[in-house]
Chains A and B, each alone.
Chain A
């Protein structure tokens, strides 16, 4: 059985009293992630930009997304569901599921159970949609449909007519917006977004292959799907076929991976708890890693000063797709849960109007269901070693200081000119490897690569021994033997310099980045001792803006430097140096 509260972020915001307006939308990263029904009727939909939403509905109240708030507000709902079954598991705030076998027999059938539960939830002012089916996925779809209760064994037929997009609608959860897809930035919620994107891509591909309904997907041979699409395809097929999404290999964890902390003095503040949650989650993740396991369902247990024993199950949203919860994911859930409990405790304390209420004295994390860690797809930058994680945190911090585009990783692209060879990609951004990388690029300079590539080439003059300008003729031959190189001081650079900077390096600041002494050394008149070339370069003649026509020279000077100078548009420039 799945209990789904539509637009939970909006409901949560109302419940904690942040707003009581009719038209509300919740934004994350400038995109609508949830909207109230009143706002929706005016045309505000998910993945819409802030401005667009405001233009459709001018008096809309916009709130920022806060998973903590959602979780805190969900606690009473979870508590109500707990009165029906001890084994409910929260998938995310707003979505909860439990096996109905025991409870429905006790309450006299699925329909009766659903009815009682709906009544109990509406008593605390929560509108929920309840779906019953063989598996959580089918149940979630049933909850949205007009036939909320699918008889046992009929899930496959129930699912068959659904369009394959249902996978994204249900599984993608809050993370997926078109925005996330277009920016392809897995910054905020990390792997969750990446998983969701992978799912979107898969569904997209399946549609293009002509598989448009869940029934069509389920009709495919399982082995073929697994062979072609890997673990994600395997799991998607299981969902479409109405089977249990859980991987068959899930098992009970060994007893010693429980982590717990005794809290003395008892904790009653959310911010203290946040630190604690992080530390415990890290410890648990380490312990699990030692056993080669990943946690897909976690039981968060706490004891209070008054001797109450609290426990709640949290389930990984896309269990089985990518292994278990990460340390950060665990920490989030622990924090949300404790936040929820502490609020409930505060409230209980207020109601009894006595001075003290029970703080939390013991906190325990028990992995409830684990799967063998099959090894997640490693990130672009290799394994998750301690040094790598530390580095990643530092980069995130620097991005926080100077903006996300400031910290860049270096990737190879193809190109003939020195500045074209490498591309900078902001840290954390995904990047598709261009086909041009690793190609021969005939016409590029021979190795070794110049070690200095000026972001803005330095204007120069190449003269022969009599002091006349050296030109390069149509046959690629110099008009005279180059004898003297004169470089203008970088300060005197005027506009019109052919920029070699790649667009990502951006800034308009004309800083050569050279130290004073190097600049002085360059700006003298120097005798050329050796030279090679010129080599003509004529690329992208079909593209008016990027067309380059150059002749390049390598030369060394009397002071012992080597440069690459190019003739372009009738003028010489020092494009790169060996230094």
Chain B
């Protein structure tokens, strides 16, 4: 009689078994629409996440940094930091190390992994897989999350891929980019091996001043007051 009951409970709990198997303090807070992408109902400390998309990286850091976690971005000088703030990252708890010398990169990342909850590692920063291996182990031990911007030499625990991007608001010279959403799919190991999909809307909190200002510029662009001056405008080599 016992066996069917057990089987039933397993069936009912299904995927939730995993979720409840992890203590809350092992999870870092996450934007609610990113939650379905991770099997743990949050992002588990000690994992290595691979995200090539810049905006997705920011979205991942947003909730945790506003709740007190520190994050470092190493070797990604192209990351748009204004956008990071727009996506909700608390800049007062973000530091950037733009161009660490390659021979020191592993040591720098290790020092940051020891103390911070998130360390974003730029592509091509780690030259040897043994470094990646060591850093993954260290992140596991210290309970911090390593976010690789691609090219992680060990298999990451979870990879987030952008399948498609949808932009709205632009049309043949009119309007401006206003709406932005992305379709994300995951792959990974262990509990994360089942692919998950989600659509994220990445609209920033509306900043009306900027918006209206930019619109007015666009309008005035079609009827500039100083015509002659503008004729030479963009062709002149400055």
Give me the interface of A with B, judged by CB distance under 8 Å.
380-382, 385, 387-388, 390-391, 393-395, 397-398, 401-402, 406-412, 418, 421-422, 424, 427, 440-455, 471-478, 481, 501, 505, 507, 509, 511-518, 530-536, 538, 547-551, 554-556, 560-562, 567-570, 576, 578-579
Interface string of B94-108 (1 = CB under 8 A from A): 111111110010011
Q: Given A476-B230, A515-B124, A533 and B237 touching (CB < 8 A)?
A: no
- B198 to A: closest C-beta gap in Å: 17
- A473 to B: closest C-beta gap in Å: 7
Given A536-B221, A570-B234, 5 more A-B residue pairs with CB atoms under 8 Å apart are A448-B86, A474-B230, A531-B170, A554-B170, A569-B237
Instruction: Give A380 to B91 CA distance when docked, in angstroms.
Output: 12
CB<8 Å pairs between A and B, sample of 10 = A411-B91, A444-B213, A452-B79, A471-B234, A474-B228, A474-B230, A535-B217, A536-B234, A560-B164, A568-B234
Say whether A401 contacts B107, CB under 8 Å: yes
- A414 to B: closest C-beta gap in Å: 11
Say whether A549 contacts B213, CB under 8 Å: no
Say whether A393 contacts B115, CB under 8 Å: yes
Say whether B151 contacts A532, CB under 8 Å: no
Instruction: Give A316 to B87 CA distance when docked, in angstroms.
Output: 45
The 8 Å CB contact of A554, one of B58, B162, B176, is B176
Q: Given A387-B70, A536-B233, A556 and B214 touching (CB < 8 A)?
A: no
Q: What total count of A-B pairs have CB within 8 Å?
A: 274
Q: Is B224 engaged at the interface, CB distance under 8 Å to the other chain?
A: yes
Interface string of B197-226 (1 = CB under 8 A from A): 000001110110111011111100111100
Say whether B81 contacts A410, CB under 8 Å: yes
Give me the interface of B with A, judged by CB distance under 8 Å.
52-55, 58, 68-70, 75-87, 91-101, 104, 107-108, 111-112, 114-117, 122-124, 149-151, 162, 164-165, 167, 169-178, 180, 202-204, 206-207, 209-211, 213-218, 221-224, 227-238
Say whether B175 contacts A536, CB under 8 Å: no
The 8 Å CB contact of A549, one of B77, B171, B202, B234, is B234
- Ranked nearest first, the 10 interchain pairs of A and B with the lowest CB-CB distance are A474-B231, A394-B115, A476-B221, A474-B230, A449-B83, A515-B123, A515-B150, A442-B213, A446-B214, A421-B82
Say whether B224 contacts A532, CB under 8 Å: no
Instruction: Give A568 to B221 CA distance when docked, in angstroms.
Output: 16
The 8 Å CB contact of A398, one of B99, B112, B167, B175, is B112
Q: Given A408-B98, A410-B94, A447-B211, A394 and B116 touching (CB < 8 A)?
A: yes
Say whether B222 contacts A395, CB under 8 Å: no
- A574 to B: closest C-beta gap in Å: 11
Q: Given A549-B234, A550-B234, A476 and B222 touching (CB < 8 A)?
A: yes
